[in-house]
Structure 1
Amino acid sequence: MVYFLLVVFGLLSFTSSQISHQYHFINIRKNWTEAQRFCREMYTDLASVNNEDEMNRLFITITDNSYDVYAGLYRGEVFRWHWTLPDSVYNEKTFQNWEKNQPDKNNNEGCAAMDNNGKWFSDSCDTQRQFVCFNATKTYILIEKNKSWREAQEFCRTFHTDLVNVRTSSENQDVKNTAKKDVWIGLFKDPWLWSDQRNSSFRFWNSSQLSNNRRDRDCVTVMVNQTGQWNDVECNTTQPFICHGDLKSQSTTKPATTDTEGGHRSTQPTQILTTGAEQATTDTEGGHRSTQPTQILTTGAEQDNLILVRENLTWTEAVTYCRKHHVDLVSIHSEELQNRAARKAIQASTSHVWLGLRYTCRFNFWFWIKNREAGCYQNWAPGHGPHGYEECGLSGAMESTGGHRWVGRPESERLNFICQICTNAF
């Protein structure tokens, strides 16, 4: 769940230090640079990953497997050495035990091994040799099978903890005594960097892509059909992406623009359904998306301040979209505004549409996110709202048909939604 920085009647306040690493799947196709800009504006940055647990949490946020998904890793210009564990720093101040003239600074051989004298040397990661794993109790295990460096790492991560990381002279001696021959250790060299400048050495490459050194593929995607393994792609490819961090409070009004194919901006909605004398393009059959990723419906000559977005997003993604392109998810404080929102909802392709209504389980009440107030006007369905069924993780939605009453829905559901736009009416 995403926790907002809220001040409701002066009672509620959260700080980012209380929030663990949060991932957010953004189901809008952008190139890598546009995705990075979006994440930095709306959250913290494109996603970085420190370990397998975080990788698993990132992967399960992906709810649409139509496209691979951008993460925050990109190719830099300088090759750097890394230990495989995120808490094992490699630099000029840490323990090193290279052979003479090693590592060769003019050679980008990417993996390190230890010889029978305990000295380190760099070699091609594809070389087949034995290796040393370690487990949680820092026990060293010699694996007497010849494998490439990455095959060795996968074996160690599957059956133990990882390839051995050597941080002190004492550890180096213990590994030497365990191996007594040339073995892989958990030190590798690559040019990849994280967008948020995090010093994470975690890598999860798809093995079929490891030999690909094309310099036009400088960005990384999570492969949705390969259990989250990574692939390098051209950065101008348009794909969904993963952000991390808290959703930022958006105080500035966003212009009523949409994303078009290729991630470019347009000052007009992608598709508009109008009523009245002036005709415009109609929606595709069955509410499905056309070649452009966002469909927006409005009435009249856009004289009111509401707009229906026929994109199936979670509640948090809907908040992100409205704040990015318009003002916010709609807040309803009067019968007149309720009626206008209901006229939009009729045209939705989902049974309900998201509203800017949120439940806080900490203080046990519903509030509108735009002004942080509970509001006086209400149109709750029986069994919902302040006197109905409530639990953490609920957000407010309106029925698309019938009485257009409000209900609490799990915020992970994917629904159409209504944004408020900036007009002279406000």
Structure 2
Amino acid sequence: MRLVLFVLCSAVFHFTPSSSRLRQIHLSESPHSREAATQFCQDRESRIITLYDDDDATVSFSLTNETIWAMSWIGLRHNRMSKSTWSDGSEYTLGLSEVNLTNGGQMCEAIDGNNWIGCNCSDTKPFMCRKLNNSYILVEKEKTWCQARQHCTRHHRDLVSISSLNESEIVIEKGKNRSFWIGLLHDEWAWEDDGCSTFRDWSPYGPGTDCTAVSVHSRPSLTRTDCENEALVLCSKGSVRIKVIREKRTWEQAFDYCDAKHSRLLWIENATDQKAVEDWLVHLKDAGPLWLGLRQSRVFGFWFWSSDRMVEFPGWKGKLVPKLPMSHHCGAIAALDDYHWTDRDCRLQLPFLCEEDIPMMKSSELNVENPASSCP
């Protein structure tokens, strides 16, 4: 494995100050109006939650269902100024898109061969970035629209935006007859914290109002409700999401999967991260064991994270660090061990924990109603 070999050979590690890194979710004890909910979360140095997938919805539903209240506010609101916008903020003026949004839908634009086509934003495709020198690059990795934009803002400038017919022809030519994302988003709704989320699983209940909540009267999904109602508040803080992958793989296979589809195998920086992982697994009823990004040098015996960081937080069962020659060389976490870490044979096939850097629409790093994709 490339990263493991690098760490073992160079013995170079990153040290970071203690901080809250992994996302945590908190539920208010009393109800608030939607406007008061924003202030409630801000007072606690957090924001009203953005839901990114079914697991987020399940945890939000579970937390609400444990109370006597029927609903909890989430961050999605019907407040976008324009239905169609380029990801870099430039105005959409061409008439080449044929997308027509209905009933709270969200679609993202792709080019397929010579045609513009609207797709479900959670589809995975190659994508085209605009580089810092304004040239274009087609990235062959398969990602959702939000993941594609995050890649472009980190490594280039942004997903490509198109302002003329001539520019459209150039992008199509650069696309090599592939189906790939461009930077055009069609959406009437926005998450309050500017999170880039393709989750749009609407409940059939409730009128078509401008605010949304999680309701115990429907399966884990988005429920439209009047903004003047009172509900509990779901707040979140942290810049990295925990992703439980239930497929069973060896440690190295898990490493490659997380690297390709998310950000990396999960690593735990401190007690706050450890608590976030424990809470997440409890809410999802995932008992484990699950692989962590924890590996031991077979030569020197020290443990390190696959993110090239040394292990500083003592999360081992009984605070006993497994030592050569008796130890296995990969680390996992399980409810049976009270969520302490244990060493396991790296060849075992286990579920695992990835982490994913949260993508933002305004990046500092720069069902009914998920429309069926018409893309190839």
TM-score class, shorter-chain normalisation, is 0.3 to 0.5
State which structure, 1 or 2, has the greater radius of gyration over its C-alpha atoms.
Answer: 1
What is the TM-score when the length of structure 2 is the normalising length? 0.36
What is the TM-score when the length of structure 1 is the normalising length? 0.32
